[in-house]
Amino acid sequence: MTEKEIYMERISRLKREGLRDVKFYAANIVGISEEEAYAELNRLHAANDLPDREVLGKYSPT
């Protein structure tokens, strides 16, 4: 499967589960290929949550 297919499979699943909207904060887009962009999104979703109490306070994942 391509990185794009992996990501779109995730979106399809979320859509079935009630996804309303997705938005991205994208920067540094110059020179990024589509496959690299989807690979980055897949890395994001494969990673684990880490605490960020300094910014999030009580909303930080523990």
Partner 1 sequence: MSQWSYENAFVCARKVSESLSRFCPNFPRPVESIIDYVSDHLKVTRGKFIPINFHPRIYEARTFYGTIEDCENKVDIYYDLNRNRCWKRFIIVKELCQLLYSSSDDLHLSSSVEEIDSLLSQILAGIATTQAATSEHAAIVIAIEVLLPHSERQNVNKMIQNKGDAMTVAKHYLLPAQMVSYYLHNNYSDMADKAAKIDLSPRT
The pattern of x and - marking residues 2 through 41 that bind partner 1 according to CB under 8 A reads --x---x--xx-xx-xxxxxxxxxxxxxx-x-x-xxx-xx
Q: Which pair of tokens denotes residue 3?
A: 């990185």
Contact flag: residue 57 with partner 1 (CB under 8 A): yes
CB-based burial label for 44 (10 Å; 0-12, 13-18, 19+): exposed
| Lookup result for tokens 């962009």 | 37
- 3-state secondary structure at position 55: helix
Q: How far is the CB of 4 from partner 1 (least distance, A)?
A: 8
**Interface with partner 1 by CB under 8 A: which residues?**
4, 8, 11-12, 14-15, 17-30, 32, 34, 36-38, 40-41, 43-52, 54-61
